[in-house]
Amino acid sequence: MILKLEGLTKIYKDKTALDGITFSFTPGIYGLLGPNGAGKSTMMNLITDNLVPTKGRVTLDEKTITELGSEYRKLLGYMPQQQNIYPDLSLRRFLYFMASLKGLTKRDADREIGHFARMVNLEEVLGKKLGAFSGGMKQRALLAQALLGDPGILILDEPTAGLDPKERIRVRNLISEVARDKIVILATHVVTDVEFIAKEIIMLNGGTILRSGTPTELLRELDGSVWNIHITDDELDSVNERYKVSNISRDEDGIIARVITDAPDERWAKEAVRPNLEDLYLYLNGA
């Protein structure tokens, strides 16, 4: 299964939200990283056929998604960012409703709802109304509905938005568990959501792809360019003005600033550190 974006462009009046994107997806997890307004949601809406491109096309195994029509939509599982999901419906009724929209038979719906409710650890609250769910429970409910029908392509829009660290890890692990033979596109602006589970990262801003590749490939760009420097409180403002600073911490001797630069000023004690995706994200997207 190969999902391709070919010269994909979307223009709203005088704003270009997506500008000539070309990319191929095969089974595995892809992290779509970018700040708000980078074009992530537009890309996902074009992939899910909710928007019509201004130029370019989306194909699956060499056929356009327009040609494939309902056959393509049956392959899609979509987890939106918004959590305002039918507060008066129980989780069970919500999942049956979503299963009916996907064309599942009653027998298949019974089986899948039980299976995915167990998978997302919500089996005990199937009779509870969604309006009483916590944010993390709602996210897991949205993930469960996205998995109904065993989709081959899973589109996840900010799946861990607003979650506490424990829930964030739980949802991230679930996504990794269900990926297997699916194309999973996970859009986020939280680097740690994808740093350890994505086979490839796509860094998007201004409607264009800034970088793409495996985390290891991407981080080579910053080899030798990330440093911890030891400074005083009085020097912090000038360091912030002069360098891109990805982290500030304190020890008994003062401040340790993690900076991205080829060569920090020689007046400071320094040590080179291994770059991470947050460093690269900051490097590409500014302070």
Query: Domain ends where: 160, 187, 214?
Result: 214
Same-domain check for residues 195 and 143 = yes
Q: Pairing relation of β-strands 153-157 and 183-188?
A: parallel
Same-domain check for residues 20 and 89 = yes
- pTM for the structure as a whole: 0.87
Same-domain check for residues 70 and 159 = yes
Query: Domain ends where: 163, 195, 214?
Result: 214
Query: Domain ends where: 151, 181, 214?
Result: 214
Question: Torsion over CA of 99, 153, 55 and 24, rounded to 10 degrees?
Answer: 180
Residue 273 CB contacts under 8 Å (≥ 6 apart), including other chains: 226, 227, 228, 258
CATH code assigned at 201? 3.40.50.300
Q: Phi first, then psi: give them for residue 218, nearest 5 degrees.
A: -65, -40
Same-domain check for residues 239 and 203 = no
Give me the residue label for tokens 């309006």.
131
Same-domain check for residues 227 and 97 = no
> pLDDT at position 185, please?
96
Handedness of CA 258, 263, 265, 271 (dihedral sign): positive
Domain count, the chain: 2
Rounded CA-CA distance 251/52 in Å is: 54
Same-domain check for residues 224 and 205 = no
Provide the residue type at 280 as one letter.
L
> pLDDT at position 70, please?
87
Residue 263: domain span: 220-285
Same-domain check for residues 248 and 193 = no
> pLDDT at position 249, please?
92
Q: Per-residue pLDDT tens for 177-203? A: 888 889 999 998 778 888 888 999 999
